[in-house]
Copies of this chain bind each other. A is one copy, B any other.
Amino acid sequence: MKNPIADLNKVFDSRIRLGVMSMLVVNDEISFNDLKQMLELTDGNLASHLNTLEQSEFIKVHKGFIGRKTSTTYSITDLGKQAFKAHLDALEKMIKKL
């Protein structure tokens, strides 16, 4: 028998980062504001979790405009997709016995 939790990715232990990733897997781009509203977070809290994901190079930030209004959006990277998939696979393996 081997340790069932060893293959889980520490970065995705957080429900918030898990939520961000699950949203970015199905949406090419999501704005800071949309993430904030969907996940019901304070600015600071969201910003710091996004920062963790960025440091891991699992997401990318795009500073742009909607009309002439600034708009920051985020997207998942290839590395992010891989890591997230690996995490879900590990999760599934852990609980598949059901």
Contact = CB atoms under 8 A, between A and B. Distances in A.
Interface in A8-35: 8, 10, 13-16, 18-19, 22-23, 25-26
Contact of A23 (B4, B6, B26): B4
A40 B1 CA distance: 12
- Copies of this protein in the complex: 2
Nearest to A85: B98
Interface string A36-54: 0011100000000000000
Contact of A88 (B13, B18, B40, B95): B95
Interface of A: 1, 3-6, 8, 10, 13-16, 18-19, 22-23, 25-26, 38-40, 88, 91, 94-95, 97-98
Given A5-B19, A25-B97, 8 more contacts: A4-B22, A4-B23, A5-B15, A5-B16, A8-B18, A22-B94, A22-B97, A91-B91
